[in-house]
Amino acid sequence: MLQFIKYKKLYGGFPAMQVDDLNIGTGIYWIRGVNGSGKSTLLKSIAGILAFEGDILLDNNISIKKQPVAYRKLVNFAEAEPLFPEFLTGKELIALFAQAKDAPAGQEQHYLESMQMQSYVGQPVGTYSSGMLKKLSLVLAFMGNPKLILLDEPLITIDTASLKVLNSWIAERYNTHATTFLLSSHQSLEHDELPTAHELLVENQTLKFIS
């Protein structure tokens, strides 16, 4: 599903992450690692936000380097601490993402209702709390028909009830559309709420399987 080919990310000439050759199949994956280990660097590289050496392939043939537009339509990303233009409303951001991701009309309603966001989604995001921003970023990550959804530290700034809703979204997308998920966290995931979650470890500037 996802293939790393001589991937290397350098900062100031020093390697921050390096994955020579690794294949990740369809599934739900928890990327473990201490703070500062490179989890966010890895996810931002996969999302196409950071430049890097080597290549990353989706479904064995869609290259982030050679087919960047096609690749990015199929990969969605929610940052650990999202930042959006403060003057835009949540509805306007959702409309922009829906257009960019070719989302079905009205797709966002299910997510807005289950996260109980209707009362503020029409307000400028500059008025949002950190929890509200987090929920908006998660809604945007589920827009369209992505093959891969990347969630960086989805457990922070989110309450227990909302986390259960997020877990239901993940299970629904995985079971219905076989969407693959990479979730990074230094906290433990509730494996009993997610179908067959595998574990990956970021350690010593590389990525490897644990289970």
> Domain count of the chain?
1
133-175: pLDDT as tens digits: 999 999 999 999 999 999 999 988 999 899 999 999 999 999 9
Cβ atoms 121, 91 nearer than 8 A: yes
Give the pTM.
Answer: 0.95
State the Cα–Cα distance between residues 41 and 47, nearest whole angstrom. 10
The pLDDT-based confidence of 187 (bands split at 50, 70, 90) is low
pLDDT at 191 over 60: no
Where in the sequence is the domain holding 61, given as residue range(s)? 2-209
Q: What is the pLDDT of residue 110?
A: 97
> For 71-90, what is each residue's pLDDT tens digit?
999 999 999 999 999 999 99
CATH number for 19: 3.40.50.300
Residues 31-64 have pLDDT tens digits of 999 888 999 999 999 999 999 999 999 998 999 9
